[in-house]
A and B are shown apart, each in its own frame.
Chain A
Amino acid sequence: AQSVTQLDSHVSVSEGTPVLLRCNYSSSYSPSLFWYVQHPNKGLQLLLKYTSAATLVKGINGFEAEFKKSETSFHLTKPSAHMSDAAEYFCVVSDRANDYKLSFGAGTTVTVRA
């Protein structure tokens, strides 16, 4: 069965410093992996996705993630945090064993300090 573990429930960074959100996944098949962001009282916005092409995936707003099969990880990074990055981030996995249903991680809350 597929599953996702987000290793940090809360991350606090200073504006202008790097952001790292850690995600490990479990999947029996070649997974598709996604990062979604949810701002307060807003819907889920797709940041980026990995679907077996390049292992380094670039997304919107300066975010990128690297798929590492040997480590079963899909960590999200951004070189310089902005105040507008304060939000909840979800790592999501899907694979054909689960009929491509999305499995969400528990989420990581990002706080950005001025």
Chain B
Amino acid sequence: AAGVIQSPRHLIKEKRETATLKCYPIPRHDTVYWYQQGPGQDPQFLISFYEKMQSDKGSIPDRFSAQQFSDYHSELNMSSLELGDSALYFCASSRGGARDTQYFGPGTRLTVL
């Protein structure tokens, strides 16, 4: 069965640079979620989109922005990167909003040097 696709899988950036992470949800899923998982921590919710509109917002820094496109894929844009942004970034998708089960992608490991 098709799963959530994330790209790139690994990304290395310098401080103050920008990064763009992409997420392609499971076909027919209309809801996308972004999570950040620091070393040895549980995933923290950043932001979600339902039918291309922001549906919920968590602990997402102002330096980050995200959107969901007409084909339901989503991009997380991160600017002025800091060392503390180094983490595993997960995308999850569900169908019909937050009540449905979320299925996670493999994650993008971002390293900021």
Q: Would A34 and B101 be within 8 Å (CB), given that A43-B107, A101-B56 are in contact?
A: yes
Which residue of A90, A94, A101 has the most chain B CB atoms within 10 A of its CB atom? A101
Do residues B90 and A102 form an inter-chain contact, with CB atoms below 8 A?
A: no
Do residues A107 and B98 form an inter-chain contact, with CB atoms below 8 A?
A: no
Chain B minimum-CB-distance residue to A6: B42
Chain A minimum-CB-distance residue to B101: A49
Q: Bits for A79-114, please: 1 = Cβ < 8 Å to B, else 0.
A: 000000000001000101001111011110000000
Mark out the residues of chain B between 84 and 106 whose CB falls within 8 Å of any chain A CB in the assembled complex.
90, 92, 97-99, 101-106
B58: CB under 8 A from chain A?
A: yes
Tier of interface size on chain A: 20 to 34
Bound together, the chains give a CA A107 to CA B39 distance in angstroms of: 12
**A8 nearest CB across to chain B (Å):** 15
B38: CB under 8 A from chain A?
A: no
Chain B minimum-CB-distance residue to A44: B104
Do residues A104 and B42 form an inter-chain contact, with CB atoms below 8 A?
A: yes
Do residues B42 and A107 form an inter-chain contact, with CB atoms below 8 A?
A: yes
Q: Which residues of A contact B106 (CB under 8 A)?
A: 42-43
Q: Which residues of B contact A46 (CB under 8 A)?
A: 101, 103-104
Bound together, the chains give a CA A36 to CA B37 distance in angstroms of: 14
Chain B minimum-CB-distance residue to A100: B98
Bound together, the chains give a CA A98 to CA B104 distance in angstroms of: 20
Bound together, the chains give a CA A105 to CA B43 distance in angstroms of: 9
Q: Which residues of B contact A104 (CB under 8 A)?
A: 42-43
Q: Which residues of A contact B103 (CB under 8 A)?
A: 46
Chain A residues close to B by CB (< 8 Å): 34, 36, 41-46, 49, 90, 94, 96, 99-102, 104-107
- What 4 pairs across the A-B complex have the smallest Cβ distances? A100-B98, A104-B42, A43-B106, A44-B104
Given contacts A41-B109, A100-B99, A102-B43, list 15 more A-B pairs with CB under 8 A.
A34-B101, A42-B106, A43-B4, A43-B90, A43-B104, A43-B106, A46-B101, A46-B103, A49-B101, A99-B56, A102-B102, A104-B42, A105-B42, A106-B42, A107-B42
- 11 pairs, CB–CB < 8 Å, chain A vs chain B: A42-B107, A43-B4, A43-B104, A43-B107, A45-B104, A90-B42, A90-B43, A96-B99, A100-B98, A101-B56, A102-B102
